[in-house]
């Protein structure tokens, strides 16, 4: 049960990224992920707001977790 809870509470992935400015989308090329189904896939994020220190983007096709997920980030200094 602890194991199941730990998975629900985290996700980590890495790879490379590109930004398409006209469509305001961020494309992750995922090299590896703790969610194995993401491995080797591309993940698109639609940028809904971007200032010098804040970023907000939406995943419109989340993998089995609702219809869309919006995530907000603040630049670490």
Partner 1 sequence: MNRFVTLIAMAFGLVFPGAAGAQTAKDLVGTWNQVSNVNIRQDGSRADIFVPGSKGVIIFESNGHYANVTLNAILPKFASGNRNTGTPEENKAVVQGSLAHYGTYTVADKVITLKVEGSTWPAWTGTDQTRTIISFTGDEIKWSLAASIGGTTEVGWKRVK
The least CB distance from residue 28 to partner 1, in Å, is 13
Check residue 61 for interaction with partner 1 (CB under 8 A).
no
Buried b (16+ CB within 10 A) or exposed e, 5-31: eeeeeeeeeebeeeeeeeeebbebebe
Q: Residue 27: beta bridge partners?
A: 18, 44
Identified binder of partner 1 from the candidate list 23, 34, 48, 61, rule CB under 8 A? 34
Check residue 35 for interaction with partner 1 (CB under 8 A).
yes
Chain residues binding partner 1 by CB under 8 A are 3-4, 6-8, 10-14, 31-37, 39, 63-65, 76-77
């Amino acid at each position: 049960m602890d194991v199941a809870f730990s998975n629900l509470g985290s996700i980590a992935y890495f790879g490379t990224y590109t930004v398409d400015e006209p469509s305001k989308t961020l494309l992750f090329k995922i090299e590896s992920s703790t969610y194995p189904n993401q491995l080797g896939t591309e993940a698109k994020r639609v940028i809904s707001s971007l200032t010098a220190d804040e970023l907000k983007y939406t995943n419109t096709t989340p993998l089995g977790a609702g219809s869309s997920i919006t995530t907000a980030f603040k630049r670490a200094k």
